[in-house]
Amino acid sequence: MDERRCPDCGVGMEETSVRTGDGMKLSISTGKREGLLGKLGVGSTTSLDAVRCPECRLVRLYAAGD
Ligand SMILES: [Zn+2]
């Protein structure tokens, strides 16, 4: 995985996790329903990976997969 840098500080960002109050990982809707998972009806969301800047505490979210 390429190192992610803060766009403001230029320092490397640290992996972190973002969860709901219930401890569930956050996910977003992709709208995709392709392939086997799509046929099973579970292909329309993807999890989010989060990185955090140790300097300014900016958090960026990346959708997993494609
Ligand atoms: Zn920063």
Domain membership flag for residue 4? no
Q: How far is CA 7 from CA 11, 58, 63, in A?
A: 8, 9, 18
More confident residue, 27 or 59: 59
Domain membership flag for residue 9? no
Domain membership flag for residue 8? no
Q: Give the pLDDT score at 11.
A: 96
The band of 53, judged by pLDDT with boundaries at 50, 70 and 90, is: very high
Domain membership flag for residue 34? yes
Question: For the chain, where are the E strands, in sequence order?
Answer: 14-16, 27-29, 45-52, 59-63
Domain span holding position 47: 14-63
Ligand 1 mean position to 11 CA, how many Å?
Answer: 7
What pLDDT, in 10s, does the model give residues 2-44?
Answer: 679 999 999 999 999 888 888 888 888 877 666 766 566 656 7
Sign for the CA dihedral angle at 30, 12, 56, 16 comes to positive
Ligand 1 mean position to 27 CA, how many Å?
Answer: 24
Domain membership flag for residue 26? yes
64 three-state secondary structure? coil
Ligand 1 mean position to 60 CA, how many Å?
Answer: 10
Q: Give the pLDDT score at 20.
A: 83
Domain membership flag for residue 44? yes
CA distance 16 to 34: 29
